[in-house]
Amino acid sequence: MRTTENVASRVRPLLLPSALILATCAIAYAAWSTGNASALEAAAFVSGAICVWLVVRESIWNFPLGLINVAISGYIFYQYRLYADSGLQVVYFALNLAGWYLWLFGGENRTALKVQRTSRLELALIGGFIAASTTFLWWLLDKAGGAAKFWDALTTSISLSAQWLQSRKKLECWHLWILADVLYVPLYISRELYLIALLYAVFLALAVLGLLTWRKSLKQWSAADLFA
């Protein structure tokens, strides 16, 4: 009986993300096969969802898949004149490489990195960065003739900050991802990128799950350190 309960307790947390991934694959295939999405959009859709799921699970394999996803996404956003989002993918690429290294060797004595909290000072600095970056990108996108200039600038700034925290395994990255995803869904709907909008709705659900999962992981690490 205990063995059955243990197996059930391990399988249960995987049911929701697994269902989301399967639904993502089915929707991407349906959109591609009916001509409502390109093969690249479908690939970005599926790889993006799987990548976020791997981040939730604290799997190091999120990084190689993430590199592929941001390369595809950057090209798609450029085609739709979402220049800030397109340029953001280049920064994501660099942060994915840095995060890959840090997750493996960024802990004490070059050990694997643990989930951590972000200091109040860093959060204040990030808030200042988001405000300054949004203002600058808004001006830049206006000059470049970008679409949805303010919202593109704001979501780009929030996402960049979230990726920076995620690369260093900071719990608060999920708060920023949730905020960004809430804004991204209507933004992409307004650009008629319906498949991408749906993907970010999946991201939103996974981000909430990620926050809960990482919060639990943080408590486990804290308890382990306390009794070490």
pTM passes above 0.85: no
Dist. CA 36–CA 25, nearest whole Å: 15
pLDDT average, residue stretch 61-85:
85
Q: How far is Cα 120 from Cα 89, in angstroms, rounded to an integer? A: 27
Summarised one tens digit per residue, pLDDT across range 12-39 is 555 656 777 777 788 888 878 888 778 8
Helix pair 39-56, 2-33: axis angle to 10 deg = 160
- Dump pLDDT digits (tens) for 190-213: 887 777 788 788 889 889 999 999
